[in-house]
Amino acid sequence: MIRYIIMRLIGIIGVLWLIGTITFFIMHAIPGGPWDEKKKALPPEVKQNILRKYGLDRSLPEQYVTYWINLLQGDMGIPYQAPTETVAGLIGRSWPVSAQLGLMAVVVAFTLGIPLGVIAALKQNSWIDQLTTALATMGFVTPNFVLAVFMIWIFSLNLKLFPPGGWEGPQYWVLPVITFAMSPLAITARYTRTAVIDVMRSDYVRTARAKGLKESTVITQHILKNSLIPMLTIMGPMAAALTTGSIFVESMFRIPGIGKFFTQSVSFRDYPMIMGVTLFYAALVAVSYLITDLLYVAVDPRIDFKEQSV
């Protein structure tokens, strides 16, 4: 397993380099730059000094090599929108807020989504299954920002149960967490339902029932346990995606997370911040896939990493 992990980590480094390279050249291929807006027109000599300060007066290959050399030394650069901070410091300050939002959404999505999916599968084609499927479909197709508007309108403006925005305490967390969790909850419920139904149709489940085992034993020991493997395929990456925050949810509820800064960095052409957040997101997702693969062994001991190609 150690060799497998090492090879996967080497592969992750290669993926990050590829993603960083593509992002770097796409950013610079787009016409214009951080200080080319007409509303921010600067005298030529002032603009040249700024470009020199951030190394943008150099050729593109020089900028590319310099960025990776600095990154290997732990320097992710200085964000143009906050020159008194560093990209690493800004990510370190804002990401914990997004991670807190995402982790709470993960708990809500998995705690409610998995039981709903299991119940829908066990009651297949019943009114319970149809109701669960309908609610899951609504949760999946409704955009975050639309749901956020309704949540604020109903629970903040009319019922006045929760504040409409901010991140100062538990009462501020309820609406954004529910809003953020609805889509992954729906996906989890639908995917769980499909996985459980597939396992219920397998031969070993029929054999277990034919042996006279209690239905509760069949469900817990055979159906649910074997349904975890395909569910892990989405749970790991979904958790990583949620912990990176949401641009719409954070903007609608005025949450000071990393999504806010990423949106601003794209608007301002903040190259270091765009690169830093992109690589950070990619690293989280890549590591989540590795952890998911390792969890396969805990769920199904029949899986042998020695037989898997990296």
| CA dist., res. 17 & res. 197, Å (int) | 40
Alpha helix positions (H), the chain: 2-29, 44-53, 60-72, 87-122, 127-141, 144-151, 170-200, 203-210, 215-217, 225-243, 247-252, 258-268, 271-299
**CA distances (Å), origin 86, targets 76, 93, 96, 286:** 7, 10, 16, 24
Q: Which two tokens stand for residue 184?
A: 């992954």
| CA dist., res. 9 & res. 250, Å (int) | 31
Q: What is the per-residue pLDDT across 18-49, written as a single tens digit (0 to 9) for each?
A: 999 999 999 888 877 777 655 556 677 777 88
> If one looks up domain 95-257 in CATH, what number appears?
1.10.3720.10
Domain ranges within the chain, ordered by starting residue: 95-257
| CA dist., res. 166 & res. 257, Å (int) | 11
Q: What is the per-residue pLDDT across 241-299, written as a single tens digit (0 to 9) for each?
A: 787 777 788 888 888 888 777 777 887 888 999 999 899 988 888 888 888 777 766 66
Q: What is the per-residue pLDDT across 179-200, written as a single tens digit (0 to 9) for each?
A: 999 988 988 888 888 888 888 8
